[in-house]
Structure 1
Amino acid sequence: MEDYDKAYNRKQEELLMAKREKEIATLELERQKHEHEIALLRLRKKADGEMYARQQQTYQDRQKSLENIRTRAEERDMQTRKIEVGQYQSQFRRIEQNGLYNIRIVGDQH
């Protein structure tokens, strides 16, 4: 009977150890699962941050491009106006020099 009790107690300890190992393995799997989820969230956050940074850079590049286009258009407009003013001034000087005061309006004539 004593051998039976020892064998029974040994089996009970083995079962208890197996149950503890199973709990430890389950907890370890849960821990790994959570670590994996955290890693995915960090990657997503990093990717979102990188995507946001790229979008911001694209937006800033577009803004700079539009600003450059606007600046060049303004410069061309100013050059055109300078040329037009110069032409009108030279025409007016010619008229003054020739004494012709019958000024003809230049522009859209229908």
Structure 2
Amino acid sequence: MTHVVTESCINCKHTDCVEVCPVDAFHEGPNFLVIDPDVCIDCIACVAECPVAAIYVDSDVPASQRQFLALNAELARDWPVIVRKREPLPDAAHWADVTGKIDHLQHP
């Protein structure tokens, strides 16, 4: 099993989760974080740290968010590892409860 970052993270990018990850599985894009499924050891430490409840065990990802399984794996190959907490994006509070944000995901 692995953990997956889902849509709630888009345009928020809280990074509390990266500091508790014992294996540096998080990768950072412009407005989103992903977890490398090949590195994640399923320790669940990150889940409780996410203030917008964006992280799920892969088997518990809601049906409407299943595309994020492949997206995490794909983007982790290209984005740099992040290991230190940073400030969330400036409009994170506004975006925290917004749904249907997939079109706002910035990636190559």
TM-score normalised over the length of structure 2:
0.14
Higher strand share: 2
Give TM-score scaled by structure 1 length. 0.14
Larger Rg: 1
